Protein backbone atom coordinates (compact mmCIF):
# COMPACT_ATOMS: atom_id res chain seq x y z
CA UNK A 1 0.00 0.00 0.00
CA UNK A 2 1.08 3.58 -0.54
CA UNK A 3 3.18 4.88 2.31
CA UNK A 4 2.24 8.18 3.93
CA UNK A 5 4.08 11.35 2.96
CA UNK A 6 7.69 11.32 4.11
CA UNK A 7 7.10 14.52 6.07
CA UNK A 8 4.84 12.76 8.57
CA UNK A 9 6.46 9.32 8.63
CA UNK A 10 9.21 10.08 11.22
CA UNK A 11 6.82 11.76 13.65
CA UNK A 12 4.26 9.00 13.17
CA UNK A 13 6.87 6.32 13.81
CA UNK A 14 7.96 8.12 16.98
CA UNK A 15 4.37 8.51 18.19
CA UNK A 16 3.51 4.86 17.47
CA UNK A 17 6.62 3.69 19.31
CA UNK A 18 5.77 5.78 22.37
CA UNK A 19 2.11 4.73 22.47
CA UNK A 20 3.13 1.07 22.15
CA UNK A 21 5.46 1.42 25.13
CA UNK A 22 2.77 3.24 27.11
CA UNK A 23 0.23 0.48 26.45
CA UNK A 24 2.70 -2.23 27.43
CA UNK A 25 3.56 -0.39 30.65
CA UNK A 26 -0.06 -0.17 31.86
CA UNK A 27 -0.40 -2.79 34.56
CA UNK A 28 -4.11 -2.40 35.28
CA UNK A 29 -5.96 -1.53 32.11
CA UNK A 30 -9.29 -1.39 33.91
CA UNK A 31 -8.18 1.81 35.67
CA UNK A 32 -7.63 3.62 32.36
CA UNK A 33 -10.91 5.36 31.51
CA UNK A 34 -12.15 6.54 28.13
CA UNK A 35 -10.99 10.14 28.63
CA UNK A 36 -7.46 9.02 29.60
CA UNK A 37 -7.32 6.57 26.70
CA UNK A 38 -8.26 9.36 24.33
CA UNK A 39 -5.79 11.86 25.81
CA UNK A 40 -2.72 9.65 26.21
CA UNK A 41 -3.08 7.00 23.49
CA UNK A 42 -5.30 8.28 20.69
CA UNK A 43 -4.76 12.03 20.35
CA UNK A 44 -0.93 11.75 20.18
CA UNK A 45 -1.27 9.59 17.06
CA UNK A 46 -3.86 11.90 15.50
CA UNK A 47 -1.56 14.89 16.01
CA UNK A 48 1.37 12.94 14.57
CA UNK A 49 -0.73 12.45 11.42
CA UNK A 50 -0.68 16.19 10.82
CA UNK A 51 -3.99 17.19 12.42
CA UNK A 52 -3.62 20.30 14.56
CA UNK A 53 -5.46 21.22 17.73
CA UNK A 54 -8.11 23.94 17.40
CA UNK A 55 -7.74 24.05 13.61
CA UNK A 56 -8.49 20.41 12.79
CA UNK A 57 -9.43 18.56 15.98
CA UNK A 58 -12.84 19.04 17.59
CA UNK A 59 -13.64 17.16 20.79
CA UNK A 60 -17.24 16.35 21.74
CA UNK A 61 -18.52 17.30 18.28
CA UNK A 62 -22.26 17.96 18.29
CA UNK A 63 -24.44 16.43 15.55
CA UNK A 64 -28.16 16.32 14.87
CA UNK A 65 -30.39 14.50 17.33
CA UNK A 66 -28.39 15.70 20.31
CA UNK A 67 -25.67 13.08 19.76
CA UNK A 68 -22.00 13.76 20.36
CA UNK A 69 -19.01 12.35 18.47
CA UNK A 70 -15.88 11.89 20.58
CA UNK A 71 -13.51 13.41 18.00
CA UNK A 72 -14.18 15.07 14.65
CA UNK A 73 -11.28 15.74 12.27
CA UNK A 74 -12.12 18.95 10.47
CA UNK A 75 -10.96 20.61 7.25
CA UNK A 76 -12.13 24.14 6.47
CA UNK A 77 -14.57 23.93 9.38
CA UNK A 78 -16.23 20.77 8.00
CA UNK A 79 -15.81 17.30 9.58
CA UNK A 80 -14.21 14.74 7.27
CA UNK A 81 -13.47 11.89 9.73
CA UNK A 82 -15.39 10.87 12.85
CA UNK A 83 -13.42 9.11 15.59
CA UNK A 84 -15.21 7.08 18.26
CA UNK A 85 -12.89 6.32 21.17
CA UNK A 86 -13.41 3.56 23.71
CA UNK A 87 -11.60 2.44 26.85
CA UNK A 88 -8.46 0.39 26.36
CA UNK A 89 -10.12 -2.72 27.80
CA UNK A 90 -13.18 -2.40 25.53
CA UNK A 91 -13.50 -5.04 22.86
CA UNK A 92 -14.39 -3.37 19.57
CA UNK A 93 -17.60 -4.94 18.31
CA UNK A 94 -20.15 -4.35 15.52
CA UNK A 95 -22.25 -2.51 18.11
CA UNK A 96 -19.61 0.21 18.56
CA UNK A 97 -18.97 0.33 14.81
CA UNK A 98 -22.68 0.73 14.14
CA UNK A 99 -22.76 3.64 16.59
CA UNK A 100 -20.08 5.70 14.84
CA UNK A 101 -21.48 4.85 11.40
CA UNK A 102 -24.84 6.15 12.56
CA UNK A 103 -23.22 9.37 13.72
CA UNK A 104 -21.48 9.68 10.35
CA UNK A 105 -24.76 9.25 8.50
CA UNK A 106 -26.26 12.09 10.55
CA UNK A 107 -23.25 14.32 10.03
CA UNK A 108 -22.69 13.62 6.33
CA UNK A 109 -19.22 12.18 6.97
CA UNK A 110 -17.79 9.30 4.97
CA UNK A 111 -14.87 7.99 7.05
CA UNK A 112 -15.34 6.51 10.54
CA UNK A 113 -12.53 5.43 12.84
CA UNK A 114 -13.27 3.21 15.83
CA UNK A 115 -10.48 2.70 18.35
CA UNK A 116 -9.69 1.70 21.91
CA UNK A 117 -6.17 3.14 21.70
CA UNK A 118 -4.61 -0.17 20.72
CA UNK A 119 -6.88 -1.44 17.96
CA UNK A 120 -7.95 0.78 15.08
CA UNK A 121 -10.78 0.03 12.66
CA UNK A 122 -11.56 2.27 9.69
CA UNK A 123 -15.00 2.10 8.05
CA UNK A 124 -16.27 3.64 4.81
CA UNK A 125 -19.87 4.77 5.26
CA UNK A 126 -20.33 5.32 1.50
CA UNK A 127 -20.24 1.56 0.82
CA UNK A 128 -23.80 0.28 0.55
CA UNK A 129 -23.13 -2.92 2.48
CA UNK A 130 -23.82 -4.22 5.96
CA UNK A 131 -21.34 -4.47 8.82
CA UNK A 132 -18.62 -5.66 8.77
CA UNK A 133 -18.45 -5.53 4.97
CA UNK A 134 -17.69 -1.78 5.05
CA UNK A 135 -14.53 -2.29 7.10
CA UNK A 136 -11.59 -0.80 5.17
CA UNK A 137 -8.86 -2.05 7.48
CA UNK A 138 -8.09 -2.94 11.07
CA UNK A 139 -4.74 -2.84 12.81
CA UNK A 140 -3.51 -3.67 16.32
CA UNK A 141 -0.58 -1.55 17.54
CA UNK A 142 0.88 -4.40 19.59
CA UNK A 143 0.22 -7.34 17.30
CA UNK A 144 0.96 -5.83 13.86
CA UNK A 145 4.42 -5.08 12.56
CA UNK A 146 5.46 -1.44 12.56
CA UNK A 147 5.43 -1.33 8.74
CA UNK A 148 1.78 -2.35 8.66
CA UNK A 149 0.82 0.12 11.40
CA UNK A 150 2.52 3.04 9.61
CA UNK A 151 1.08 2.09 6.21
CA UNK A 152 -2.46 1.87 7.51
CA UNK A 153 -2.55 4.75 9.97
CA UNK A 154 -0.67 6.89 7.45
CA UNK A 155 -3.78 6.82 5.28
CA UNK A 156 -5.50 8.89 7.97
CA UNK A 157 -3.00 11.73 7.76
CA UNK A 158 -4.28 15.19 6.95
CA UNK A 159 -2.48 14.95 3.60
CA UNK A 160 -3.97 11.57 2.72
CA UNK A 161 -7.52 12.60 3.58
CA UNK A 162 -7.47 15.98 1.81
CA UNK A 163 -5.55 14.85 -1.29
CA UNK A 164 -7.76 11.84 -2.04
CA UNK A 165 -5.02 9.33 -1.22
CA UNK A 166 -7.21 7.76 1.47
CA UNK A 167 -9.99 7.23 -1.05
CA UNK A 168 -7.66 5.72 -3.68
CA UNK A 169 -5.49 3.54 -1.46
CA UNK A 170 -8.32 2.81 0.95
CA UNK A 171 -10.08 0.99 -1.87
CA UNK A 172 -7.04 -1.30 -2.23
CA UNK A 173 -6.92 -1.94 1.50
CA UNK A 174 -10.63 -2.72 1.44
CA UNK A 175 -10.12 -5.39 -1.22
CA UNK A 176 -7.05 -6.80 0.52
CA UNK A 177 -8.74 -6.86 3.95
CA UNK A 178 -11.72 -8.87 2.73
CA UNK A 179 -9.75 -11.09 0.37
CA UNK A 180 -7.45 -12.12 3.24
CA UNK A 181 -10.52 -12.67 5.40
CA UNK A 182 -12.03 -15.01 2.82
CA UNK A 183 -8.75 -16.89 2.61
CA UNK A 184 -8.45 -17.27 6.37
CA UNK A 185 -12.10 -18.16 7.00
CA UNK A 186 -12.39 -20.55 4.07
CA UNK A 187 -14.89 -18.91 1.78
CA UNK A 188 -16.16 -21.87 -0.28
CA UNK A 189 -16.79 -19.72 -3.35
CA UNK A 190 -13.14 -18.66 -3.40
CA UNK A 191 -11.98 -22.23 -2.78
CA UNK A 192 -14.06 -23.50 -5.72
CA UNK A 193 -12.85 -20.67 -7.95
CA UNK A 194 -9.20 -21.49 -7.29
CA UNK A 195 -9.72 -25.23 -7.60
CA UNK A 196 -11.57 -24.89 -10.92
CA UNK A 197 -8.87 -22.58 -12.25
CA UNK A 198 -6.35 -25.41 -11.87
CA UNK A 199 -8.75 -28.21 -12.74
CA UNK A 200 -6.82 -29.25 -15.87
CA UNK A 201 -3.54 -29.29 -13.97
CA UNK A 202 -3.56 -30.04 -10.26
CA UNK A 203 -7.27 -29.56 -9.62
CA UNK A 204 -8.15 -33.18 -10.32
CA UNK A 205 -6.03 -34.39 -7.41
CA UNK A 206 -6.67 -31.49 -5.07
CA UNK A 207 -9.42 -31.57 -2.49
CA UNK A 208 -11.21 -28.46 -1.24
CA UNK A 209 -9.39 -28.88 2.08
CA UNK A 210 -6.06 -28.71 0.24
CA UNK A 211 -6.99 -25.50 -1.55
CA UNK A 212 -8.31 -23.96 1.68
CA UNK A 213 -5.05 -24.83 3.44
CA UNK A 214 -3.01 -23.15 0.69
CA UNK A 215 -5.13 -20.01 0.79
CA UNK A 216 -4.94 -19.81 4.58
CA UNK A 217 -1.17 -20.15 4.40
CA UNK A 218 -0.91 -17.34 1.84
CA UNK A 219 -3.06 -15.09 4.00
CA UNK A 220 -0.46 -15.20 6.78
CA UNK A 221 2.16 -13.49 4.62
CA UNK A 222 2.07 -9.66 4.69
CA UNK A 223 1.26 -7.98 1.40
CA UNK A 224 2.47 -4.45 0.68
CA UNK A 225 2.05 -2.35 -2.45
CA UNK A 226 4.28 0.65 -1.88
CA UNK A 227 4.59 3.60 -4.21
CA UNK A 228 8.04 5.14 -4.35
CA UNK A 229 8.23 8.90 -3.95
CA UNK A 230 9.16 9.28 -7.63
CA UNK A 231 6.21 7.15 -8.71
CA UNK A 232 3.67 9.01 -6.60
CA UNK A 233 1.00 10.54 -8.83
CA UNK A 234 0.74 14.30 -8.97
CA UNK A 235 -1.65 15.48 -6.30
CA UNK A 236 -4.04 18.34 -6.83
CA UNK A 237 -4.31 20.89 -4.01
CA UNK A 238 -6.58 19.79 -1.18
CA UNK A 239 -9.24 22.46 -1.72
CA UNK A 240 -12.91 21.67 -1.58
CA UNK A 241 -14.31 24.23 -4.02
CA UNK A 242 -16.35 22.98 -6.96
CA UNK A 243 -17.55 26.04 -8.85
CA UNK A 244 -17.59 29.83 -8.89
CA UNK A 245 -19.32 32.79 -10.50
CA UNK A 246 -19.30 36.57 -10.51
CA UNK A 247 -22.44 38.62 -9.89
CA UNK A 248 -22.12 42.37 -9.74
CA UNK A 249 -19.40 43.21 -7.25
CA UNK A 250 -19.47 39.83 -5.48
CA UNK A 251 -17.64 36.56 -6.10
CA UNK A 252 -19.64 33.42 -5.21
CA UNK A 253 -17.65 30.20 -4.73
CA UNK A 254 -19.33 26.83 -4.29
CA UNK A 255 -17.82 24.74 -1.51
CA UNK A 256 -18.37 21.11 -0.53
CA UNK A 257 -17.76 19.22 2.68
CA UNK A 258 -15.11 16.51 2.93
CA UNK A 259 -17.63 13.74 2.23
CA UNK A 260 -18.95 15.74 -0.74
CA UNK A 261 -22.51 15.22 0.43
CA UNK A 262 -23.40 18.87 1.01
CA UNK A 263 -22.67 22.06 -0.92
CA UNK A 264 -23.05 25.73 -0.11
CA UNK A 265 -21.77 29.09 -1.34
CA UNK A 266 -19.29 31.48 0.20
CA UNK A 267 -19.07 35.02 -1.09
CA UNK A 268 -16.38 37.64 -1.21
CA UNK A 269 -16.77 41.25 -2.30
CA UNK A 270 -14.56 42.44 -5.14
CA UNK A 271 -13.21 45.13 -2.79
CA UNK A 272 -11.98 42.45 -0.38
CA UNK A 273 -10.71 40.33 -3.26
CA UNK A 274 -8.81 43.35 -4.62
CA UNK A 275 -7.02 43.92 -1.29
CA UNK A 276 -6.13 40.25 -0.96
CA UNK A 277 -4.97 40.05 -4.59
CA UNK A 278 -2.74 43.08 -4.01
CA UNK A 279 -1.24 41.42 -0.93
CA UNK A 280 -0.65 38.23 -2.96
CA UNK A 281 1.19 40.27 -5.59
CA UNK A 282 3.42 41.82 -2.92
CA UNK A 283 4.34 38.39 -1.57
CA UNK A 284 4.93 37.17 -5.13
CA UNK A 285 7.34 40.04 -5.84
CA UNK A 286 9.34 38.91 -2.83
CA UNK A 287 9.36 35.44 -4.44
CA UNK A 288 7.69 33.97 -1.38
CA UNK A 289 5.38 31.02 -1.14
CA UNK A 290 1.93 32.07 0.02
CA UNK A 291 -0.36 30.53 2.58
CA UNK A 292 -3.83 31.66 3.60
CA UNK A 293 -2.69 32.65 7.14
CA UNK A 294 0.17 34.76 5.77
CA UNK A 295 -2.10 36.40 3.23
CA UNK A 296 -4.73 37.03 5.88
CA UNK A 297 -2.15 38.53 8.24
CA UNK A 298 -0.95 40.90 5.53
CA UNK A 299 -4.37 42.53 5.02
CA UNK A 300 -5.24 42.95 8.71
CA UNK A 301 -6.93 44.96 10.11
CA UNK A 302 -8.64 45.85 6.82
CA UNK A 303 -10.10 42.33 6.59
CA UNK A 304 -9.97 40.85 10.10
CA UNK A 305 -10.80 37.16 10.24
CA UNK A 306 -8.95 34.69 12.44
CA UNK A 307 -10.13 31.73 10.33
CA UNK A 308 -8.53 33.09 7.11
CA UNK A 309 -11.48 32.05 4.95
CA UNK A 310 -11.40 35.21 2.75
CA UNK A 311 -7.75 34.48 1.99
CA UNK A 312 -8.48 30.80 1.27
CA UNK A 313 -11.32 31.84 -1.01
CA UNK A 314 -9.05 34.30 -2.83
CA UNK A 315 -6.33 31.68 -3.36
CA UNK A 316 -8.93 29.24 -4.70
CA UNK A 317 -10.07 31.84 -7.25
CA UNK A 318 -6.46 32.57 -8.24
CA UNK A 319 -5.82 28.85 -8.65
CA UNK A 320 -8.83 28.37 -10.92
CA UNK A 321 -7.77 31.40 -12.96
CA UNK A 322 -4.28 29.86 -13.47
CA UNK A 323 -2.73 32.76 -11.57
CA UNK A 324 -1.67 30.72 -8.54
CA UNK A 325 -0.04 27.30 -8.60
CA UNK A 326 -0.09 24.64 -5.89
CA UNK A 327 3.30 24.19 -4.24
CA UNK A 328 2.43 21.63 -1.58
CA UNK A 329 1.79 21.26 2.10
CA UNK A 330 -1.09 19.98 4.15
CA UNK A 331 -2.22 22.73 6.48
CA UNK A 332 -1.73 25.41 5.52
CA UNK A 333 -1.54 24.72 1.80
CA UNK A 334 1.29 26.59 0.08
CA UNK A 335 0.85 28.47 -3.21
CA UNK A 336 2.99 30.50 -5.58
CA UNK A 337 1.58 33.47 -7.48
CA UNK A 338 2.98 34.66 -10.80
CA UNK A 339 5.37 37.57 -10.53
CA UNK A 340 4.78 40.84 -12.37
CA UNK A 341 1.04 40.85 -11.75
CA UNK A 342 -1.01 43.62 -10.24
CA UNK A 343 -4.32 43.42 -8.44
CA UNK A 344 -5.89 45.24 -11.40
CA UNK A 345 -4.62 42.61 -13.85
CA UNK A 346 -5.87 39.82 -11.60
CA UNK A 347 -9.30 41.38 -11.33
CA UNK A 348 -9.40 41.93 -15.10
CA UNK A 349 -8.53 38.25 -15.65
CA UNK A 350 -11.32 37.12 -13.35
CA UNK A 351 -13.83 39.36 -15.14
CA UNK A 352 -12.65 38.09 -18.55
CA UNK A 353 -13.15 34.50 -17.41
CA UNK A 354 -16.61 35.42 -16.18
CA UNK A 355 -17.51 36.91 -19.56
CA UNK A 356 -16.14 33.82 -21.29
CA UNK A 357 -18.33 31.61 -19.09
CA UNK A 358 -15.36 29.81 -17.53
CA UNK A 359 -16.13 30.52 -13.89
CA UNK A 360 -18.82 27.87 -13.63
CA UNK A 361 -16.48 24.93 -14.25
CA UNK A 362 -13.19 25.46 -12.43
- Determine the 3-state secondary structure of 137 from DSSP: strand
Architecture of domain 241-355: Orthogonal Bundle (1.10)
CA distance 214 to 7: 39
Q: pLDDT value at position 285? A: 79
Quickly state the pLDDT bin for 10 (edges 50, 70, 90): confident
* Spatial contact of 178 and 137, defined as CB atoms under 8 Å apart: no
Quickly state the pLDDT bin for 261 (edges 50, 70, 90): low
Quickly state the pLDDT bin for 4 (edges 50, 70, 90): very low
Phi, psi angles (nearest 5°) of residue 247: -130, 115
Phi, psi angles (nearest 5°) of residue 209: -65, -35
Q: Residues of CATH 1.10.10.10 domain(s) within the chain?
A: 241-355
Quickly state the pLDDT bin for 27 (edges 50, 70, 90): confident
Q: How many CA atoms lie within 13 A of 266 on its CB side?
A: 19
* Spatial contact of 142 and 20, defined as CB atoms under 8 Å apart: yes
β-pairing verdict for 78-85 and 111-115: parallel
Segment 286-330, tens digit of pLDDT: 767 788 888 888 887 776 665 567 887 788 788 777 787 777 665
Tell me: cis bond preceding 332? Omega within 30 of 0 counts. Answer: yes
CA distances from 68 to 327, 328, 340 (A): 37, 34, 50
Query: HEC states along 34-100?
Result: HHHHHHHHHHHHHHHCCCCECCCEEEEEECHHHCEEEEEEEECCEEEEEEEECCCCCCCCHHHHHHH
236 vs 134, higher pLDDT: 134
330 vs 335, higher pLDDT: 335
Segment 217-246, tens digit of pLDDT: 766 655 544 433 333 333 455 556 677 778
Segment 38-92, tens digit of pLDDT: 999 999 999 999 999 888 999 999 988 788 999 999 998 889 999 999 999 999 9
Averaged pLDDT, 148-163: 87
Q: Residues of CATH 3.90.1570.30 domain(s) within the chain?
A: 9-231
Fold observed for domain 9-231: tt1808, chain A (3.90.1570)
Q: pLDDT value at position 22? A: 92
Which of 243-252, 305-314, 353-362 is predicted with the least confidence, judged by mean pLDDT?
353-362
The DSSP bridge partners found for residue 266 are 253
Asked whether the predicted pLDDT for residue 358 surpasses 80, the reply is no
Averaged pLDDT, 196-205: 62
Amino acid sequence: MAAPEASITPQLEEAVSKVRKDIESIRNRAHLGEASTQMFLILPLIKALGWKELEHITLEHQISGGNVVDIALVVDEQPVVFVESKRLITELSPREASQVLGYAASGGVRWCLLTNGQQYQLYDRSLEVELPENLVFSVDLLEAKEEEVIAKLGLLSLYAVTSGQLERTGAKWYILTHLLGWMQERDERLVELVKNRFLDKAGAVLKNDDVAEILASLSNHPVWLHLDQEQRPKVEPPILYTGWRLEGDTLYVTKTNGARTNQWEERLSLQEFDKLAEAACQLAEADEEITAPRLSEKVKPAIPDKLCWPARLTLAVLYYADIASYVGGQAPVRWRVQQGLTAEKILATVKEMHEAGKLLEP
